[in-house]
Each structure stands twice: as structure tokens, then as C-alpha cells.
A and B are shown apart, each in its own frame.
Chain A
């Protein structure tokens, strides 16, 4: 098999003679691999970010959210709310220790004359502070916690350091929706950029400011009493909520979800798995199209080079030699496309990550693993070889006399 080196040389010479066509074919593969690599980098990154965020939420917690989790769309519509009596019943459920309620929406915030749209989160501070400090690991970098009833806010790390040009400092004023508030605390990082980009304030204050109905909330977090069974309490909360909602609305449709932190991780994981599968499926179509491009180029080039094939056979080339030369050509096209696509894909993912850091809209880091790069390269090489196989076999099977006869 020492001849492989020579075949490789002949193949590269052939590719270089038709360089424009070779590059165009390579471009087809570049696009496909680019799609796969960039989308996988991003979705892996999102997955890692979400997992990290879930971990930051702490272990033994129950989350109550409006909307049905089995129908992910309803989660984002955010129309439904937990009413005052819903929250009351959660508090009364056996095994429930403390309930932290939370609402959020984005508002225009003005600091030192600079206006930005920032998420504002209202938290039932009196009840919730303990949960946040002990179970969610919140801590202050500077200043104090806001006191209930006073127009005071605490800001996340991103708000303090990144979002405004001027660093946000304790003791300064911030104007939210046209009203003045005092910044009393800066939080340490909560483990995710999204959480670090909020301004936190007491629930009644939030509801005054946004006009949300008193006593309601968008979601609730429950800390259970020591010794209680997490799943059992979650079950009970769900049952109670169902009862009270049925009495109120007369329907049994569950328009809220009660889930434990563990289950939340599972659900997020499975949704992401579906998304990733869809991404790979669509990107694979692009690769297949690229592969067809290779096949097309190879068939064309075999037609053009029929005579060359005949000459090589006449002077002693075995079928395997011809097969190897053409297979190597197709493989090179695939592999070069893979290199280009991988580089572009990684660059693109990094660019999105960079953009996310500058503009706090999405927060994640692109996940670029050596495995993904190896996958991209070997996959494209495989596509090249597969697409090249049939043309190469046709070339190898040409009878020398037939190949030589074609004079034009």
C-alpha cells in the first residue's frame, strides 16, 4: 500500500487542476459542517448554562409556576398568575415551611442619566430572605438587604458592573419607571448571568410600581419542613391548588405546574435533547446536500477524465488504484470542507457568545469540545468518502478499451 502516497499526490493534482469546481464543492460541505458545529456548540452551551442555573437553585425545593409544563409554550405566555388564595393554600399545605413568591418584568431604569431596560424582580422579602440566603446561596458583596416597606433595591453583579457605563454604587439613586429608589446592596454573583442582571426589590413595592394585583405572584418557591418528603409535599401542594382552582374556575384543567428541582432538571434536559435532535437532523440535511454535490462533481470529473482512466488502466493500473485515486479526491473535498466548516462554526459560536456578553440578552458560553471538533472532521471525511464511493467504483469498473475509445 506504499502507492497510496502516490495516489494521494495524483488526487491532489487533479483537484488543483479544477480548483474552482473543487472549491465550490468544498464550500457545499463547509456550509453543512458549519451549521452542525455552530448549532451544536450553541445548544451544548445553552444546556450547560441551564444545568448550571438549575444547580444554583439549590436542592430540596418545590417550584410552582403558572402554565402547564408538559406544554412548554404555555410557560412563555406568562398570562396566568398565582392568585392570593392560591398562595394562601400553598402556605397551609402540610410540610410547607416557607413560601417565597416572585414576579418579574422588564422596566426602563435610569442611572446617572443613562436609561436601560432591565428586568425587575419582586420578591416577598420577609418570607423569602431566609430561603434565598440559606438555600439559594445569595449573599451581599456590598451594603445591606433592602428593608421591607422602604424604597430600597438590591442589584445583581451584571447590573452593578456591566450594564451601565458608570459602576452602580451603594447609596446612589436609581430611577425605575420614573420613581426614585435607593440602591442599598450589591449582590455577589448568583451563578448565572441572567440572575445577575436583575434588580431585586420587595414584592409590595414591585406591585405598586408595576400595577400588578396585590398578593398575587408569577411564581412561588417552597422550602419544605425538615423531615418532610419532597415528592409528597409537592403532590399535596398540587392537589390543594387543583381543588381551589376548581372551586374558583370550575375547570379541572391544570394551568399551573408544581415541580421539584430535580424534576425540573429532567424536563429541561429532555426538552433540550429534542431541540438538539432537531438541530442535528436539519443540519444533516445540509451535509447530505453537500455530499450530493461531491457525488455530482465526481461523476462529472469521471466523465471528463474517462480517457485518463483508460490510459492508466492500459499502462497497468488495477481497479483498486483507480478506486483509491477517486475516493481520495472525494475524501479530500469532504475533509477540507470539514476543516473549513468546523473553523467557521466555532468562530460563529464564539461570536454569539461574545455578543451575549456585551448585550445581556442571552447568557451562555459556547461549548466547544475536542469531541465535537473530531466529530465534525471525521463526519465530513466520511460523507466525502461515501459520496465518492459510487463515482469511484464506476471509474474503477471502466474497461480500458471503452475508456480509450472516447476520443472527444
Chain B
């Protein structure tokens, strides 16, 4: 079996809230193989977001280990982790999270700046990505001038910028109407199929989860069921 893109080993996350301890994750074990398309589902308060932070290497576990491409992230400095995260993981958020002061093109170029790519190369790549998202006409628009669907496509282009092995999407369709949401999911599915990249989607919408090959259910900080689903698009019914 190839090395997992991300591996969680008995991961606990405990938040200290004044005098109360809040246990968000209780010994999670998880492996995501390269090229997989995984959904994480669970009601709010289930520890879904905390798990996403662990998988996205945005936070460190209280106990246990997180391996990103075989590297134990707890052993990395903050800067090394930033570098690795920027190179390996692309993020798509529910609220798009574009920088409002920058144009679509600049937003897509940003992750490449942090990886030290030359201006010429990153401009070229950002343009190509935006054109492939059907945003060729909008590259110089700032995010307030774009529709929600367009913003999310810019955000996806940004997530793809450094050609990451893993794309993590946190409720990517949560703020979109169903038609636009479907388009977004198709882009992600295509990326998965054509480039063979790993996708992890966090959602509470079963229709979205059904795009994936595997659904991980989380409840009260624990994985409760892990059932394979056919990679069938049920939403189209």
C-alpha cells in the first residue's frame, strides 16, 4: 500500500475552556490514501471542524500524531509546516475566503508567492487555472465584484495553484445554490479523476458526500462508521 497522504494516529484534541475541558477528538485513527475522494460527515459539534484542522495541518493535536506525507507535523517548526502545507494541501472554504483587496488573478498567485515561484511562472499558471475554471474574463476583478459561484471557482483555482496532492474542501457548496454547487463538485470530481489527486470534503449534506468514494461519519469526537459508497452521483436523480 502506498504511503498515505495524511495519517492520524490516536489523535486527541482537548480544548481548555476556563475550568472546563472540552474533548473534541477522542483517539481518532485515520488514513487517507493518495488518490482517494473522502467525505467527512457529522452533525455540528461532532468534532468535524477540529478533525479538518488536524487533517489540514492547521493545528496540532493534544495527543497522538499527525503525519503529512509521512512527516510527523509536531516535529516541524511553524515555518516548515507552513511551507509544507502550502505545497501539499489546497484549501477550499465555505465562505470562499478570498483576499478582498486583491484581484482574482492575484488571489490565485498568492500561494505560489509563498512557495517562491517566479513571477512569470505564477502569473502564467494562475491565468491558465482561471481560464480552465471559465473565469478568463474575470481575472482582474476583485472578489466583491464576483458572484458567489465565481468566487468559489477562484478559491478552487487558488487551492490548485501549487498543484497540491491533497485538496480539503470545507462545506464547499454551503453558500451556493444547488446548480452552482453541482458545478463546483464537478470541478472537484474532475480534478480527482483527471489528475488523480486526493480530495477530502467536509459536509453535512449527504448529496455532496455521495460524490465521494468513502464516507467517514464522526460523532462526539469519534469515527462511528466508515462505509464505502459507490462513486455514483446520486444527486443527479
Known interface pairs A311-B97, A311-B99; A318-B59 also in contact (CB < 8 Å): no
Question: How far apart are A322's CB and chain B's nearest CB, in angstroms?
Answer: 10
Cα-based distance from A321 to B113 in the complex (angstroms): 10
Most buried by B among A13, A16, A320: A13
Say whether B86 contacts A10, CB under 8 Å.
no
A residues less than 8 Å from B95 (CB atoms): 407
Which of B79, B87, B110 is the one whose CB lies under 8 Å from A312? B110
Complex CA distance for A317 and B97, rounded to whole angstroms: 15
Binds B, one of A230-238, A350-358, A396-404: A396-404
What is the CB-to-nearest-CB distance from B132 to chain A, in angstroms, rounded to a whole number? 19
Is B231 located at the chain interface by the 8 A CB criterion?
A: no
At the interface, yes or no: A110 with Cβ under 8 Å from chain B?
no
Distance A327 CA – B126 CA, assembled complex (angstroms): 27
Considering the chains assembled together, what is the distance between the CA atoms of A52 and B102 in angstroms? Answer: 58
Chain A proximity of B60: nearest CB distance (Å): 9
User: What's the minimum C-beta distance from B98 to chain A, rounded to whole angstroms?
Assistant: 8
Pairwise interchain contact B101-A14, C-beta atoms closer than 8 A = yes
Complex contact A316–B58 (CB within 8 A): no
B58 x A318 contact (CB < 8 A): no
Contact B79 A316 (CB under 8 A): no
Q: Across the interface, which residues of A come within 8 angstroms of B115, CB to CB?
A: 316
Q: Name B90-130 residues within 8 Å CB distance of A.
A: 90-91, 93, 95, 97, 99-102, 110-111, 113-116, 118-119
Given A3-B113, A6-B113, decide whether A316 and B162 contact each other with a Cβ distance below 8 A.
yes
Contact: A400 with B83, CB < 8 Å?
Answer: no
B58 touches A17 (CB 8 A): no
Decide: A321 and B59 in contact? CB cutoff 8 A: no
Contact mask for chain A residues 303-317; partner B; CB cutoff 8 A; 1 contact, 0 none: 000011001111111
Tell me which residues across on chain B come within 8 A of A318, comparing CB atoms.
78-79, 82-83, 114
Bound together, the chains give a CA A4 to CA B140 distance in angstroms of 22
List B contacts of A2 (CB < 8 A). Answer: 116, 118-119
Q: How large is the interface on B (under 10, 10 to 19, 20 to 34, 35 or more residues)?
A: 20 to 34
Q: Does B26 contact A (CB under 8 A)?
A: no
Chain A min CB distance to B163 (Å): 13
Measured CB to CB, the closest approach of chain A to B233, in angstroms, equals 29
- A319 contacts chain B at the CB level, 8 A cutoff: yes
* In the complex, chain A residues whose CB is within 8 Å of the CB of B118: 2
* Bound CA span A331–B125, Å: 32
As a 0/1 sequence over residues 262 to 273 of chain A, the CB contacts with chain B under 8 angstroms (1 = contact) are: 000000000000
Contact B158 A314 (CB under 8 A): no
- Complex: how many Å from CA A400 to CA B56? 10
Most buried by B among A313, A319, A320: A313
Give the most central of A2, A10, A317, A399: most B CB within 10 Å.
Answer: A317
- Min Cβ gap A298→B in Å is 16
Partner of B102, one of A3, A10, A321: A10
A317 in contact with B82 (CB, 8 Å): yes
For the complex of A and B, the 5 pairs showing the least CB-CB separation, nearest first, are A316-B86, A316-B114, A401-B59, A315-B111, A13-B101
Q: Which residues of A contact B (CB under 8 A)?
A: 2-3, 6, 10, 13-14, 16-17, 307-308, 311-321, 399-401, 404, 407
